[in-house]
Amino acid sequence: MIALTLHELARAVGGQLHLAGSDTDQTVVSGAVDTDSRQMEPGGIFVAKPGEATDGHLFVGAAVAAGAVLAIVEHTVEAAVTQIVVPDAVQALADLAREVVARVRAGGQLRIVGITGSNGKTTTKNLLARILQDEGETVAPRASFNNEVGAPLTMLRVTPSTRFLVSEFGASGPGAIAHLAGLVQPDIGVVLMVGMAHAGGFGGIEGTVKAKAELIRALRPGGVAVLNADDGRVASMASIAQERGLAVRWFGTGPSADVRADDIETDAAGTRCTVSVDGVGLPLRLKVLGAHHVMNAIAALTAAAVLGVEASAAIARLETVELAERWRMQPMGSDRVRIINDAYNASPDSMSAALRTLAQITGPDERTVAVLGAMSELGEYAGEEHDRIGELAVRLHIQRIVVVGAEARRLFLAAVGEGSWDGEAMFFATADEAYDYLMGELRDGDRVLVKSSNSVGLRFLGDRLGESFS
């Protein structure tokens, strides 16, 4: 974090300063900010966030032992450290992020990109960060730091020399993106797609559209909206941009896109396509598995172009990326039995894309195996969406469908109903049972997809399979 005095910090978060030791209100603090005492670094600031399972106030002592020199708390605790008492620690974290970014931005060189969408945020964030890091100091979220805690923690990592801040914005409900993006007012807003992910929390797909559009409404005056021309719901957000006097840049596969992908081909080594940037065609070879990641790549290229990055240099950097993120289309195992661990998150769109990729990359003498768990946060749409995925798996001729967990049982029943009734589809209540079955079932030449929502935990089953066949 940038250097601030304790007085400035207390004022930024609207808190009451309680000094300890030799500290004064002019003592300067510049260490990293975190809500996890296990991640605390010497000179850092610990934010004692109350949680569902525990309370950060219980770990102030541990944070101090690890080197924290300041604690932001909702009530004073017994610890030999200066404390700032605030009404709401999470809001204080947001207020501090707003202050720090505003001060850095006042220096004149910081450009901010916000990314949202039902799927692809983390991959696109990582691809764009890879492009930008060769242009100058770039700050981007670790993993999927995109919520009310993770996004501000990322923002607080900026320094006076940071040129680019890439923020990923998730939506836990209406107003969440408006809140997070409003902290920094991005220069560029990227909307990837609108799908059924989290639709249960928004009252349906139209509620999701409104939530994602909050990013366009939060852009600073003179900003640029980077929109998916292939997604009608995203494309409709152009009217919001135009009402606000914002420029619009399009990415997609159609002729209207400023950055367009053509001739997309996928195999086990990645995806090839031709990328046209303002009419100039260039080849792109992505090592990241899955044709659906081409859209994430061209979204990143579009944002990079707005920031002045030359297209051929941006593409060359994208081609160095071998993995979008752990547990996202992550190749594991060996050439004998290849495991694709894509079980960090799942929605109907990403599940469909992953199954299609599995079918595309499997050769004629190889066998497709899909290990599938539940897709969460679909609300009233859960049943029909699990039905659709079960039917799709059969129609794609997936040869073994292994469904894990009671919440995904309807997917199994749909696969059986679609014709996968002669042992091709199996159901197991637990991941351990599925692992035992797979260890006896998998054979040379199998290509295995492991896919579920994060809460199901199948990513760990994917890890076990990957290790077993490495």
Write down the pLDDT at residue 422. 76
pLDDT beyond 90 at 145: no
Write down the pLDDT at residue 199. 58
CB atoms within 10 A of CB 30: 13
315 and 345 in contact (C-beta within 8 Å)? no
Write down the pLDDT at residue 207. 87
Distance (Å, whole) CA 300 – CA 418 = 38
Q: How confident is the model at residue 126 (pLDDT cuts 50, 70, 90)?
A: very high
Third-level CATH fold of 4-88 = 3.40.1390
Percent of the chain past pLDDT 70, that is, above it, reads: 98
pLDDT in tens, 192-206: 999 865 555 566 788
CB atoms within 10 A of CB 465: 25
Distance (Å, whole) CA 396 – CA 391 = 9
Dihedral angle of Cα 304, 310, 313, 314, to the nearest 10 degrees: 20
CB atoms within 10 A of CB 55: 12
109-318: what CATH class? Answer: alpha beta
Domain positions in the chain? 4-88, 109-318, 330-468
Tokens of 436: 């035992």
Write down the pLDDT at residue 200. 57
pLDDT in tens, 448-462: 999 999 889 999 999
pLDDT in tens, 42-78: 999 999 999 878 899 999 999 999 999 999 999 999 9
Write down the pLDDT at residue 56. 95
Q: How confident is the model at residue 80 (pLDDT cuts 50, 70, 90)?
A: very high
DSSP-based three-state secondary structure for 284: strand
Residues 6+ apart with CB under 8 A from 422: none
Q: Is 330-468 in CATH node 3.90.190.20?
A: yes
224 and 339 in contact (C-beta within 8 Å)? no
* pTM of model > 0.85: yes
pLDDT in tens, 304-360: 999 999 999 999 999 999 888 888 899 999 989 999 999 988 999 999 999 999 999
Task: Give the C-alpha distances (Å, rounded to integers) separating 402 from 396, 435, 443, 462.
Answer: 15, 10, 15, 13
Q: In one letter, which amino acid is 361?
A: I
What would the mean pLDDT of 171-194 be, rounded to a whole number?
Answer: 94
319 and 271 in contact (C-beta within 8 Å)? no
44 and 32 in contact (C-beta within 8 Å)? yes
Residues 6+ apart with CB under 8 A from 179: 94, 148
Q: Which residues pair with 5 in a beta bridge?
A: 28
pLDDT in tens, 262-301: 999 998 889 999 999 988 999 999 999 988 999 999 999 9
Residues 6+ apart with CB under 8 A from 82: 6, 17, 18, 19, 20, 21, 23, 27, 69, 70, 71
DSSP-based three-state secondary structure for 233: helix
Percent of the chain past pLDDT 90, that is, above it, reads: 85
Tokens of 228: 């998916």
Residue 110 is given by DSSP the state -
Q: Measured on CA atoms in the order 92, 98, 100, 101, is the torsion positive or negative? A: positive
What would the mean pLDDT of 364-370 be, rounded to a whole number?
Answer: 95
Write down the pLDDT at residue 339. 97
Distance (Å, whole) CA 262 – CA 279 = 12
DSSP-based three-state secondary structure for 32: coil
pLDDT in tens, 403-441: 999 999 999 999 999 987 777 999 999 999 999 999 999
pLDDT in tens, 99-118: 999 999 999 899 999 999 98
Write down the pLDDT at residue 395. 96
Write down the pLDDT at residue 153. 96
